[in-house]
Amino acid sequence: QQPVQSPQAVILREGEDAVINCSSSKALYSVHWYRQKHGEAPVFLMILLKGGEQKGHEKISASFNEKKQQSSLYLTASQLSYSGTYFCGTENVAAGKSTFGDGTTLTVKP
Amino acid sequence: KAGVTQTPRYLIKTRGQQVTLSCSPISGHRSVSWYQQTPGQGLQFLFEYFSETQRNKGNFPGRFSGRQFSNSRSEMNVSTLELGDSALYLCASLPHTSGEQFFGPGTRLTVL
């Protein structure tokens, strides 16, 4: 069962912050985040393996709450280059395979 | 290190035909996963191969099949194409069986 991402879309001005959430009904052992720009392949951002662990990539960070089976991606002081569709991928104990959410489209305007 | 390569990049077929797509993973990566991406449907998992064995399969009809060779290169085949098969097909390679995935540029298949 695929994870659920929210919101589906968000529009920001440069310098503003955003949070993208990813939740699953299955017990997870890892969450990974990707960004895909229009016409390009998804690019790996980060992976979270432990409950509550936060990782960072430039001004993008993420947390993983293993108990709540949720992960959040935090984009601070957004830049034009952050525009794209963000996907979370989850690996659960039962399935052992990666399942992706439907994506969150982020648009950063000047 | 060279990235994941997929061939062909674009393909136009007609209904009823079959198609074979190829994916060469990053050197040293033994796991390859395939995804179908359509607007509004996100990334739908097709199957995953590791060391020439299919480890997982998504919820796609039997018309979709794949295989992996001893050099880790993978192919996927779609027989009896339908209009709904039009999509971007992405393959991703992994150094192991889990973790971060490195995606190729995809093959855009159009079925007329």
Q: Which of A43, A44, A100 sits opposite B43 (nearest CB)?
A: A100
CB-based contact (8 Å) between B39 and chain A?
Answer: no
Residue B80 confidence (pLDDT) = 96
Per-residue confidence at A78, pLDDT binned at 50, 70, 90?
very high
Residue A57 confidence (pLDDT) = 67
CB contact under 8 A, A42 and B33: no
Whole-number percent of chain A with pLDDT over 70: 87
Report how far residue B70's alpha carbon sits from residue A53's, in angstroms, rounded to the nearest whole number.
37
Residue A99 confidence (pLDDT) = 84
Q: Is the pLDDT of residue A51 over 70?
A: no
Higher pLDDT, B63 or A25: B63
Task: Work out the average pLDDT over A80-94.
Answer: 86
Residue A96 confidence (pLDDT) = 60
Q: Is the pLDDT of residue A24 over 90?
A: no
Q: How far is CA B68 from the centre of its chain?
A: 11
| Chain A residues closer than 8 Å to B3 by CB | none
Report how far residue A55's alpha carbon sits from residue A88's, in angstroms, rounded to the nearest whole number.
14
Nearest residue in chain A measured CA to CA from B101:
A44
Report how far residue B31's alpha carbon sits from residue B92's, in angstroms, rounded to the nearest whole number.
8
Q: How many CB pairs under 8 A join A and B?
A: 57
Beta carbons of A4 and A100 less than 8 angstroms apart: no
Q: Which of B56, B105, B106 sits opposite A96 (nearest CB)?
A: B56
Per-residue confidence at A1, pLDDT binned at 50, 70, 90?
confident
Segment-wise mean pLDDT, segments of 10 residues, chain B, 112 residues:
91 97 94 90 88 90 96 96 96 81 94 96
B7-36: string of b/e by CB count within 10 Å (b at 16+)?
eeeeeebeeeeebebebbbbeebbbbbbbb
Per-residue confidence at A30, pLDDT binned at 50, 70, 90?
confident
Residue B94 confidence (pLDDT) = 87
